[in-house]
Amino acid sequence: MKPKALLDTSFWINIYHLGLTDKLSDLFDVIYITPRIYDEIEVGKAYNSGDVSLFEDMLGCGRIELMRVDEESVMGLRNYVNSSSGEAELLSALIREPTLVLLIDNSDVFWFMEQKNLTYLTTANIVITLFATGHLDYAESRARLRDLYGVLKKGVVDSAIKTLDHTKEERK
């Protein structure tokens, strides 16, 4: 059985620009969003962002599902993150359901996730996973990782490319 994931806005935008949103359902059984993340993505409508209509289509067909969160538990995280942020909702949901995988590129919460032993994946991690599971070939994976320069920290992308190359060598 595939794991269930929780989606952050930063990750959604990046995976959309890489053209890999359709691959998410290859890796995850269910992809959840929280109300604030929904609102953050929907803001793109005002700017005619192409990702919004795809997001709404995926929501409409059940590939993405809205997860309600307890506002009191979100407020309890105010010492760690801005309690009015989407990240606060995500962390609250993860504490309630720690088996979920957080899909996020915002490094502000990585320390919290690691401290609480919660799982997160970045867009770079997903590209490597898609290669390792046979959903992307090597050339496409490497190209998608290179597209992340300027979006993610250079060191993160460099490390991901090294991991991709190492994974390719292990397959031989």
Burial degree of 144 (CB within 10 A; 0-12, 13-18, 19+): buried
Max distance between CA atoms of the chain, in angstroms, equals: 51
Q: What is the pTM of this model?
A: 0.89
Evaluate whether 121 touches 132 at the Cβ level (below 8 Å).
no
80/112: higher pLDDT: 112
Fold observed for domain 4-121: Rossmann fold (3.40.50)
Tokens linked to 123: 């867009």
pLDDT, one tens digit per residue, over 76-109 is 666 666 545 677 788 888 888 899 999 999 887 7
In sequence order, which residues have a C-beta less than 8 Å from that of residue 130 and are 6 or more positions away?
20, 23, 26, 27, 136, 141
What are the E-state strand segments in the chain?
4-7, 30-33, 64-66, 101-103, 119-121
> Could you state, in order of their start, the residue ranges of all structural domains in the chain?
4-121, 125-171
Q: What are phi and psi of 84, to 5 degrees?
A: -95, 5
pLDDT, one tens digit per residue, over 30-72 is 999 999 888 888 887 777 778 888 898 999 999 999 988 876 6
Rounded Cα gap, residues 135 and 60, in angstroms? 24
Q: Return the percent helix, strand and coil in the chain, to nearest 5.
A: 60, 10, 30
